[in-house]
């Protein structure tokens, strides 16, 4: 009798576990099917947005809008509940060789480099090597911000650099042809005969108001290197990219061989190839990252987890909340901020020669999207795709000021 009971229990347990296994498989298959279905709906429900922000009532496809806007390639990653739902590439990464974009193709992330550089600075703040609100000249070694009448009472600080309220000029950078002599960081800051950007100087009172400054991020890059004793690219690898699994991202140039073969070429507004395929940006903290949407989605997910106190792998909750606190007359400290309540989100755009991209995440829910293009015409397409994603998933609008 005892043996019969054991056999019966084993049979019931086996049946139960089999049902549970089948149920889990059905749920996984269902979720995958739902993701594929939504992906298809978004791909085929793109609406042209006019200059007034209104949708054309007729839906079209991503590929059609790419042709209309002369955008050779685009790559998308969508995530929710801290998981990537889907990632896909469209079009060509290289029109000349007809190579296609796929989810591994890497693009210049341009100014999305800035949030990653800012998180690197916050990591050093957590280690006690930097102070958020101290004069950067106190710890800069190889170069100092020249003082002038604007800095008599207020100083350039890491917080002000990352919130673009430092008063520093030099809004952005043009990049360099592969045939050019590329300047050093010191030459970029000081100015030289081989730099194609103006010297980085304070042009208004620090703390007064927002003035977007890529030059400021290069001051931060030098500060990071001076206090850590490490080259910025290596430090970003060790502190940010490697710990969160951004295996297809790098600030290093020349790129490692495994990444070099994944690069997309950049194209101008007329669909013409950028000379040499792409320009070189030695201004790494401001514009030097190569990445793909999946890797940037991992970064956005990790930053959101830190903000909510779910995981401190990237940053402590305190640091992430500091980053996502609005500065008067500006955005956050190292990241752009939009919306309130459930629509509160952090984001950043990027634009280098031949590349345009956008990353956004709702701070309280771990959902969002990253879109990268290899075209100067990328912004209109990104806007249309982002609107389609937010409507398809019934999320709050994700584009800036929507």
- What are the pLDDT tens digits along the chain (402 aa)? 444 444 444 444 444 444 444 443 343 344 445 678 999 999 999 999 999 999 999 999 999 999 999 999 999 999 999 999 999 999 999 999 999 999 999 999 999 999 999 999 999 999 999 999 999 999 999 999 999 999 999 999 999 999 999 999 999 999 999 999 999 999 999 999 999 999 999 999 999 999 999 999 999 999 999 999 999 999 999 999 999 999 999 999 999 999 999 999 999 999 999 999 999 999 999 999 999 999 999 999 999 999 999 999 999 999 999 999 999 989 999 999 999 999 999 999 999 999 999 999 999 999 999 999 999 999 999 999 999 999 999 999 988 777
- 142/222 Cα distance (integer angstroms): 8
Q: What token pair was written down for 189?
A: 């800051």
**Of 386, 385, 380, 381, which Cα lies nearest the Cα of 399?**
386
Greatest distance between any 2 Cα atoms in the chain: 97
Residue 315's closest CA among 239, 390, 376?
Answer: 239
Q: How many beta carbons lie within 10 A of that of residue 108, not counting itself?
A: 30
What residue ranges define each of the domains in the chain, with the CATH number in brackets? 62-392 (3.40.710.10)
CA 163, CA 324: separation in Å to the nearest integer?
A: 10
SS3 49: strand
Report helix, strand or coil for 197. Answer: coil
Rounded to 5°, angle at Cα 396 from 393 and 402 = 125
Q: What is the H or E stretch that residue 345 is in? A: strand 345-352
Q: Are 264 and 94 in contact (CB under 8 A)?
A: yes
Closest-CA residue to 335 (of 356, 308, 307, 313): 307
Helices (H), 249-311: 257-260, 284-287, 293-308
Tokens of 376: 């100067």
Residue 31 is predicted with a pLDDT of: 43
Q: Does an H or E element contain 75, and which?
A: strand 73-80
The confidence score (pLDDT) of residue 34 equals 66
Instruction: Please tell me the distance from the alpha carbon of residue 326 to that of residue 339, in angstroms, as a whole number.
Output: 11
Q: 90, 264 in Cβ contact below 8 A?
A: no
- Please report the DSSP string for 222-242 in residue order: HHHHHHH-S-HHHHHIIIIIT
- DSSP sequence for 99-124: EEP-TT-BEE-GGGHHHHHHHHHHHH
pLDDT at 11: 43
Locate 64 and state its tokens: 């059609």
Q: What is the DSSP letter of 150?
A: G
């Amino acid at each position: 009798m005892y043996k019969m009971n054991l056999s019966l229990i084993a049979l019931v347990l086996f049946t139960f576990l089999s049902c549970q296994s089948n149920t889990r498989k059905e749920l996984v298959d269902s979720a995958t099917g739902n993701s594929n279905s939504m992906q298809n709906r978004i791909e085929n429900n793109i609406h042209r947005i006019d200059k007034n922000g209104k949708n054309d009532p007729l839906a079209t496809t991503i590929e059609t809008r790419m042709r209309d806007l002369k955008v050779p390639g685009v790559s998308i990653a969508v995530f929710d509940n801290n998981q990537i739902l889907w990632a896909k590439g469209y079009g060509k990464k290289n029109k000349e060789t007809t190579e296609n974009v796929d989810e591994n193709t890497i693009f210049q992330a341009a100014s999305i480099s800035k949030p990653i550089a800012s998180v690197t600075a916050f990591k050093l703040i957590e280690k006690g090597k930097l102070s958020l609100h101290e004069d950067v000249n106190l710890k800069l070694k190889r170069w100092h911000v020249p003082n002038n009448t604007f800095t008599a009472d207020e100083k350039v600080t890491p917080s002000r650099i990352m919130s673009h309220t430092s008063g520093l000029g030099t809004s952005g950078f043009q990049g360099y042809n592969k045939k050019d002599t590329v300047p050093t960081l010191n030459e970029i800051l000081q100015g030289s005969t081989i730099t194609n950007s103006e010297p980085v100087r304070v042009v208004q009172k620090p703390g007064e108001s927002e003035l977007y400054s890529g030059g400021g991020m290069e001051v931060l890059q030098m500060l990071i290197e001076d206090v850590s004793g490490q080259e910025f690219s290596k430090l970003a690898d060790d502190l940010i990219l490697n710990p969160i699994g951004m295996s297809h991202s790098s600030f290093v140039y020349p790129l490692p061989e495994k990444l070099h073969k994944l690069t997309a070429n950049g194209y101008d507004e007329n669909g013409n190839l950028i000379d040499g395929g792409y320009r070189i940006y030695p201004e790494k903290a401001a514009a030097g990252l190569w990445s793909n949407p999946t890797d940037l989605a991992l970064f956005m997910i990790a930053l959101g987890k830190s903000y909510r106190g779910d995981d401190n792998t990237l940053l402590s909750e305190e640091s992430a909340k500091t980053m996502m606190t609005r500065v008067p007359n500006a955005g956050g400290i190292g990241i752009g901020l939009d919306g309130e309540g459930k629509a509160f989100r952090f984001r950043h755009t990027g634009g280098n020669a031949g590349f345009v991209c956008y990353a956004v995440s709702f701070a309280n829910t771990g959902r969002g999207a990253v879109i990268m293009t290899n075209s100067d015409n990328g912004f209109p397409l990104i806007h249309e795709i982002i609107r389609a994603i937010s409507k398809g998933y019934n999320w709050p609008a994700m584009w800036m000021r929507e």
